[in-house]
Amino acid sequence: MKAAGVQGTLRLVVFLVVWAIASPVTAESESATATAESESATWSIVRQVVFDPTTYAPAITSFAAERVDWKSSQVFFQHGYLEQNPQFTVSGLPNDAPLDYDAGKRQINGNALRDLGVSAINNTAARIVERMLMEHYPGRRKLIRTIGWIERISFAVTFATIQSSNHFRQWRENERLARESGYK
């Protein structure tokens, strides 16, 4: 996903989370009971996000894709090839000298953590909206939960595909070119 697209998505999700948290409070919700329920709801959402595999799937997938791409590129760097991806060059420009292997691994780890954050924000916002909808439509809990699962799974699959498909493709291409060039 392009940086501007990720930033736009993050801004929207952060806005929704802040809006949900900062919504006007009624007199009843200021009572001690309502405060306890609110804390309980918060911990429930945190627990749901932490134990939801869709929170981790995009980060794990993109981490694996970037690692195999990076590892398969090393043989070319040893033979004088330049890196095309500006995230992995010394200058930050395409077609330049690659980062050293460990710096590339750190970049990959940072990318995976960023992806984990984006996914966690999406799942948190989805859970907040899901909870709000279930409060307004208590007779539709099963439907709302099902739609919530569909949204989280769809987001995870789409985000993981966007973040990893080019790296998996490049890995396969690197493997083919290394064999053809006699490097492997």
For residue 92, give both structure tokens.
């930050």
In whole angstroms, what separates CA 8 from the centre of its chain? Answer: 14
pLDDT by 10s per residue, the chain, length 184 = 455 555 665 566 556 555 555 554 444 444 555 555 667 889 999 999 999 999 999 999 999 999 999 999 999 999 999 999 999 999 999 999 999 999 999 999 999 999 999 999 999 999 999 999 999 999 999 999 999 999 999 999 999 999 999 999 999 999 999 999 999 8
Query: What's residue 29's pLDDT?
Result: 45
Q: How many structural domains are present in the chain?
A: 1
Residue 137 domain flag: yes
* d(C-alpha 21, C-alpha 102), whole Å: 41
Residue 41 domain flag: no
Range of the domain at 76: 3-17+53-181
* d(C-alpha 153, C-alpha 174), whole Å: 31
Residue 33 domain flag: no
Residue 136 domain flag: yes
Q: How far is CA 4 from CA 10, 83, 124, in A?
A: 10, 23, 21
Tell me if 61 sits within 8 A of 159, measured CB to CB: no
**Crossing angle between the packed helical segments 101-136 and 141-181, to the nearest 10 degrees:** 160
C-alpha neighbours within 13 Å on the C-beta side of residue 156: 21
Say what the pTM is: 0.77
Q: How far is CA 166 from CA 62, 73, 135, 172, in A?
A: 10, 14, 42, 10
Residue 71 domain flag: yes
Residue type, 43: W
Query: What's residue 103's pLDDT?
Result: 97
Residue 35 domain flag: no
Residue 163 domain flag: yes
* d(C-alpha 66, C-alpha 53), whole Å: 20
Q: What letter does residue 137 receive in the DSSP assignment?
A: -
Residue 47 domain flag: no
Query: What's residue 109's pLDDT?
Result: 97
Query: What's residue 184's pLDDT?
Result: 80
